[in-house]
Amino acid sequence: MFKKILIANRGEIACRVIKTARRMGIQTVAVYSDADARAPFVSMADEAVHIGPSPAAQSYLIADKIIAAAKQTGAEAVHPGYGFLSERTSFAEALAKEGIAFVGPPVGAIAAMGDKIESKKLAMAAGVNVVPGFVGVIEDTEHAVRISGEIGYPVMMKASAGGGGKGMRLAYSEQDVREGFEATQREGLNSFGDDRVFIEKFILNPRHIEIQILGDQHGNILYLNERECSIQRRHQKVVEEAPSPFVTPKMRKAMGEQCVALSRAVGYYSAGTVELIVSGADPSGESFYFLEMNTRLQVEHPVTEAITGIDLVEQMIRVAYGEKLAMTQEDIGIDGWAIENRVYAEDPYRGFLPSTGRLVRYDPPVAGWEDDGAANGRRGVDGVRVDDGVYEGGEVSMFYDPMIAKLVTWGETRDAAADKQVAALDAFEIEGLSHNIDFVSAIMQHPRFRSGELTTGFIAEEYPDGFHGAATSDRVKAHLAAIAAFIATARADRARQVDGQLDGHLEPPYDWEVKIADQSFSVALEDDVMVDGEPLDMGCSYTPGDRLVEAHIEGETYTVKVEPNRTGMKLTTRGAIHQVRLLPAHLAHLTRHMIEKVPPDLSKFLICPMPGLLVSLNVAVGDQVEAGQPLAVVEAMKMENILRAEKTATVKTVNAKPGDSLAVDAVILELE
């Protein structure tokens, strides 16, 4: 077996590979940029080599620096993780020339499947179902418009070398193609160094299902069941699960065997994933089409590990060393259900705008890589696993992907795995930047998710007006009112004891008027807990200063994040933020004297919604603009965001120019 492996990646996937290598008795080498000097994966590795400045193009994407680090440290193999150089044939070829093993597939398979245009041609030649589209080189926007019209709208424009949701645009009309084609080219060039784009028909009611492939260098290829990855935003996966609630055993076998045949046709070995688009409108489940093959480990691989018990990273290393697979297709089973949620640095309450900054507080529901304490490393502690690569006090940088962590839960049933997600998300503490924890918790509770009726349009269809928090029943609000009153009494009692000037004779309030949104509750705590005159069976433990409160009310368990403020407190639980106002009952009548503060009108300003780079400015002083007209493009975390006019107006002043780095809430221009 290899004695030393270098990981040509960063963040949680670097930690993931190091963990398995350590268990196998293999030493590890990390490479890191300036931004990652204090990252956990650097300290976890046995050795670490600095490879350059923070931008990936000056560090992680320079193959010569990776190879030099491998030679310097005596690493016998390189694991590329995902992204960066993982699917670049020139990197695998350069390693081979230096006699360094590549922990991945052969160069020929990467070349055949890594290019979306060429892979579609190969799939067609092999008799695999493919989505109708144009697989040649598209010359310019006008050419793209003609092709799209011939295929028929809607169409999907994709960067040929793309992945991870980057370089993809859905077009419902000619105008969409004209607005999005060049942006798709730029994203492909910026993220992958390749500006080629192809266009294909967009399948209606599509489900995104992928088959995990594992092969060795002796001709053995297996499929390790499927993953459902239909819940996506901007074509980037948000929720993944295994198995799929849609796939039948017959369909699984048909998909798996077809994907194995395709893999065999290109001489594939190592771990890989064949992605399929499945028409949810076909109840037979037979309308599935080849989308692409990712010749690497997938971000969502933990859910497959959880239901099969197979460590995919270990298998990749063993295959790269030349070992045969120790299992056959008959050995691959499905044990329970696993769900993965990607915790991103973004603000779902503000249109999912990227959020960068320092993790003032980071406390996941179970320990991470340093000491996970897991009885089963593929399922985590009590069915909860966190894959992360960040630390409290560290920074989520604008230079890399905004993913903070992956939360994986396993249960005997799909509902059990989803329930564990909700509970674990409530216990996940992140402060200092925005995150999507409330949003993914809301998805886990959504009736449509629980029914399994998923498509890639789930988010757009269920949250057409944006995300404003999970739906909260009146019953849950009443329970939160009781929790808020309990906290308020405890805080008042603590203040009385600390002050010490009244000899402890002043009793804290036990009766409260609590307002949550537009609902008011009368809560009494002195004897039994009463809400609006109805008794509640409640147990709650709180010490002033606690950030999390666990309460048991009427058979339900709540984990609630608590943030006191001037008018009461903010309570966050089960995917929703609740601004709670409360007063002692004998003072509540005074609220009628309070003056309502009206927020200022900011509609005349074009405000930068996130930290980013101003790529283009489409207007100048004096220009007339119409509602919905594109005014500027801001790039953040490798994604371009079009900023549009909210109303018809005239440009009064312009405060920025293309190339400027903008802070959040910076005023780009003013309208009149």
Instruction: Give residue 380's pLDDT band: very low, low, confident or very high (50, 70, 90).
Output: confident
Task: Work out the average pLDDT over 378-398.
Answer: 91
Taking CA atoms, 95 is separated from 100, 335, 383, in Å, by 5, 38, 38
d(CA 69, CA 398): 25
Q: Are residues 268 and 334 in the same domain?
A: yes
Q: Are residues 8 and 140 in the same domain?
A: no
Task: State the amino acid at position 230 in one-letter form.
Answer: S
Across the chain, mean pLDDT equals 91
Burial of 661 (0-12, 13-18, 19+ CB in 10 A): exposed
Instruction: Give residue 301's pLDDT band: very low, low, confident or very high (50, 70, 90).
Output: very high
User: Which range among 114-118, 218-222, 347-351 shows the weakest confidence by mean pLDDT?
Assistant: 114-118
Instruction: Give residue 499's pLDDT band: very low, low, confident or very high (50, 70, 90).
Output: low
Q: Is residue 166 domain-resident?
A: yes
d(CA 434, CA 111): 39
Q: Are residues 77 and 183 in the same domain?
A: no
Q: Are residues 543 and 446 in the same domain?
A: no
Q: Are 17 and 408 in contact (CB under 8 A)?
A: no
Q: Are residues 363 and 491 in the same domain?
A: no
Query: What residues have CB less than 8 Å from 448, skipping those under 6 apart?
Result: 454, 458, 462
Decide if pLDDT at 575 tops 80.
yes
- At 500 the pLDDT is 61
The active-site residue, picked from 292, 305, 346, 513, is: 292
Decide if pLDDT at 642 tops 70.
yes
Coil, strand or helix: which one is 141?
Answer: helix
Q: Are residues 308 and 454 in the same domain?
A: yes
User: Which of residues 553, 572, 593 is at a domain's end?
Assistant: 593
CATH number for the domain harbouring residue 284: 3.30.470.20
Task: State the amino acid at position 70 in one-letter form.
Answer: A
pLDDT tens for residues 514-565?
Answer: 999 889 999 999 889 999 999 999 999 888 889 999 999 999 999 999 999 9
Decide if pLDDT at 47 tops 50.
yes
Q: Is residue 514 domain-resident?
A: yes
Query: What residues have CB less than 8 Å from 404, skipping those under 6 apart?
Result: 343, 344, 345, 359, 362, 388, 390, 396, 430, 435
Instruction: Give residue 371's pLDDT band: very low, low, confident or very high (50, 70, 90).
Output: very low
What are the two backbone dihedrals, phi and then psi, of residue 184, each rounded to the nearest 5 degrees? -65, -40
Structurally, how many domains does the chain consist of? 5
d(CA 331, CA 280): 30
Q: Is residue 392 domain-resident?
A: yes
Taking CA atoms, 260 is separated from 47, 209, 328, 379, 454, in Å, by 38, 15, 13, 26, 26
Q: Are residues 156 and 280 in the same domain?
A: no
User: Which of residues 547, 570, 593 is at a domain's end?
Assistant: 593
- At 166 the pLDDT is 72
End-to-end CA distance of the chain: 70
CATH number for the domain harbouring residue 28: 3.40.50.20
Query: What residues have CB less than 8 Å from 465, skipping those under 6 apart?
Result: none
Q: Which of 296-311 are b and which e, b meaning 16 or more Cβ less than 10 Å from the residue's Cβ?
A: bbbbbbbbbbbbbebb
Tell me if the bond preceding 243 is cis, omega within 30° of 0. Answer: yes
Tokens for 591, please give them: 């609220």
Instruction: Give residue 370's pLDDT band: very low, low, confident or very high (50, 70, 90).
Output: very low
- At 285 the pLDDT is 59
- At 375 the pLDDT is 41
Q: Are residues 329 and 415 in the same domain?
A: yes
Q: Is residue 625 domain-resident?
A: yes
Q: Are 199 and 219 in contact (CB under 8 A)?
A: no
Q: Are residues 311 and 362 in the same domain?
A: yes
Q: Are residues 491 and 551 in the same domain?
A: yes
Residue closest to 652 by CA, chosen among 668, 669, 667, 666 = 669
- At 369 the pLDDT is 62
CATH number for the domain harbouring residue 164: 3.30.1490.20
Q: Are 514 and 520 in contact (CB under 8 A)?
A: yes
Cα 336 to the center of its chain, rounded Å: 23
Q: Is the dihedral of CA 523, 525, 529, 534 positive or negative?
A: negative
Number of Cβ within a 10 Å radius of residue 532: 11
CATH number for the domain harbouring residue 653: 2.40.50.100
Q: Is residue 115 domain-resident?
A: no
Decide if pLDDT at 115 tops 90.
no
Residue closest to 301 by CA, chosen among 268, 340, 274 = 340
Q: Is residue 266 domain-resident?
A: yes
Q: Is residue 162 domain-resident?
A: yes
Decide if pLDDT at 440 tops 70.
yes
The DSSP annotation for 12-29 comes to HHHHHHHHHHHHTT-EEE
Taking CA atoms, 119 is separated from 111, 128, 264, 294, 457, in Å, by 9, 11, 14, 10, 25
Number of Cβ within a 10 Å radius of residue 369: 19
Decide if pLDDT at 594 tops 70.
no
Task: Work out the average pLDDT over 96-119.
Answer: 91
Decide if pLDDT at 636 tops 70.
yes
CA atoms within 13 A on the CB side of 420: 26
Coil, strand or helix: which one is 426?
Answer: helix
User: Which of residues 462, 497, 516 is at a domain's end?
Assistant: 462
- At 505 the pLDDT is 59
Q: Are residues 420 and 491 in the same domain?
A: no
- At 658 the pLDDT is 93
Identify the residue with better confidence: 306 or 133: 306
Task: Work out the average pLDDT over 442-470.
Answer: 96
- At 56 the pLDDT is 93
Tokens for 631, please give them: 């005014």
- At 564 the pLDDT is 92
d(CA 488, CA 521): 14
Q: Are 9 and 321 in contact (CB under 8 A)?
A: no
CATH number for the domain harbouring residue 521: 3.30.700.30
Q: Is residue 305 domain-resident?
A: yes
- At 236 the pLDDT is 87
- At 503 the pLDDT is 57
In 382-441, beta strands by DSSP E: 384-388, 395-396, 403-411, 429-431
- At 374 the pLDDT is 43
Residue 174 appears among annotated catalytic residues: no
Q: Are residues 485 and 568 in the same domain?
A: yes
d(CA 344, CA 466): 17
Range of the domain at 532: 474-593
- At 309 the pLDDT is 95
Task: Work out the average pLDDT over 92-102.
Answer: 97
Instruction: Give residue 419's pLDDT band: very low, low, confident or very high (50, 70, 90).
Output: very high
pTM of the entire structure? 0.83
- At 638 the pLDDT is 66
d(CA 487, CA 548): 11
Residue closest to 431 by CA, chosen among 562, 266, 566 = 562
Instruction: Give residue 280's pLDDT band: very low, low, confident or very high (50, 70, 90).
Output: confident
Task: Work out the average pLDDT over 327-341.
Answer: 97
